[in-house]
Copies of this chain bind each other. A is one copy, B any other.
Amino acid sequence: MKKIPSGVTAPKGFLAGGLHCGVKNNHKEKKDIAMICSTVPCSAAAVYTQNKVYGAPITVTKKNIADGMAQAVVCNSGNANTCNADGVEKAQMMCELTAEALGLKAEDIIVASTGVIGQVLPIEPIAKGIAALAPILSAEGGTDAAEAIMTTDTKAKIEAYEIEIGGKPVKIGAMAKGSGMIHPNMATMLGFLTTDAAITSEMLSKALKLAVDDTFNMVSVDGDTSTNDMVSILANGMAENPVIDAEGADFDLFLSVVKEICTSMAKQIAGDGEGATKLVECTVTGAPTIPLAKAIAKSVITSSLTKAAMFGADANWGRILCAIGYTEGDFSVDEIQVDLSSAKGSILVCQKGAGVEFSEETAKEILLEDEIHIEIAMKQGEAAATAWGCDLTYDYVKINGDYRT
């Protein structure tokens, strides 16, 4: 598996682009509509938010890819098209306009929206944007597309990898957005994956679900599960590998690269959490079961007190123990060991569930880095899990205290 340049346009046959159309009407320099298109039909799969309040685009996308096929993606930022009486109608219009502009069918379009909830989506700028964007999609447009789906993100999130399957080079690319209102379960941000692998939609869906469970669903910025978010994948088969239509070595290879790219997206999202100054990775080992390992890792990553301590570079491990302790489930806390580490080294702060002496100075030096690892050894089983989050900062409050203005 090797990292290659670019994002969603890295695989053969994918074009993309993004521009400002006017949904973000106070920010004319900010792109707000993105498009991805394959030159040939694709197997398609997606996972969706578990929130009972969900965006109209989710309803329409679910319907459109029910047959396991799609060919293009359209996504606006600046307005979530959620909790609007005319939401589904507008999402449907986005598909029709995109299909018309690209010469496709509306049922082959994946539609997404992200931004403020409960404000009517202005369709005029979007119609103009779609018409302007379709003719200029290109193999160089991946970054523009990634920028056009950003809301409070500070960085565009893209990644691409290449592997060999059945003697053929297979590429996978991705773009994602997500910075606040991010918490498992399921797709809790927007992620769009493209690949030129030949794979059935059933196996594509299986790979995506397995990968998302260990990656996107292990990210938490603020514990709020969004209404709109999803991860989709399009596979156009242009790599001409033997079609992956069952489990086996090829599927495992493909799954490993999907997981790798999802992990990269997950870490990029966590590290760019609203107001974040650092990425926090929490690894739990020696847990009785994988669900428990995941729950403990997520509990620590989500704890406001732990997050605030990370912001302050304060080795307040008691808050980590506390967050472990309120995780639901059956486990013992007597043997827990906690280590904190970063590029500056590692320090043991808790053993057998109790504090040990350590140098506060060394701990501070470790925690001042911008990527922190919290390693929790439960010492009562074989299961492990990793979750990603960020610190809680003044800027999180600032960004969310008045997001709409």
Contact = CB atoms under 8 A, between A and B. Distances in A.
Interface of A: 50-54, 80, 82-85, 116-120, 180-181, 183, 222-227, 302-305, 308-309, 311-312, 314, 316-319, 321-327, 331-333, 350, 352-355, 392-394, 396-405
A181, A355, A397 — most chain B CB neighbours (10 Å): A397
A311 B311 CA distance: 20
Given A83-B318, A118-B321, A325-B52, A224 B305 contact: yes
Contacts of A303: 223-224
Given A117-B321, A323-B224, A52 B333 contact: yes
A50 to B, nearest CB: 7
Contact of A180 (B183, B305, B318): B305
B397 A331 contact: no
A394 to B, nearest CB: 5
Given A321-B117, A326-B52, A401 B224 contact: no
A353 to B, nearest CB: 6
A161 to B, nearest CB: 32
The DSSP consensus for interface residues of chain A is loop
Contacts of A226: 322
A227 B308 contact: no
A361 to B, nearest CB: 12
A51, A314, A322, A403 — most chain B CB neighbours (10 Å): A322
A227 B397 contact: no
Contacts of A327: 52
A118 B305 contact: no
Given A394-B394, A397-B392, A401-B308, A54 B316 contact: no
Contacts of A405: 314
6 contacts: A116-B318, A118-B317, A118-B318, A225-B322, A312-B401, A396-B397
Contacts of A304: 222-224, 304, 396, 400
Instruction: Work out how many copies of this chain go into the complex.
Output: 2
A225 B324 CA distance: 10
A226 B333 CA distance: 15
Contacts of A319: 117, 181, 224
A55 to B, nearest CB: 10
A120 B357 CA distance: 11
A326 to B, nearest CB: 4
A400 B309 contact: yes
B308 A400 contact: yes
Contacts of A323: 224
A403 B308 CA distance: 9
Contacts of A316: 116-117, 403-404
B53 A305 contact: no
A222 B317 contact: no
A175 to B, nearest CB: 24
A331 to B, nearest CB: 7
Given A51-B326, A83-B350, 13 more contacts: A52-B327, A84-B354, A116-B318, A224-B319, A224-B326, A304-B304, A308-B401, A309-B400, A311-B397, A314-B402, A314-B403, A314-B405, A316-B404
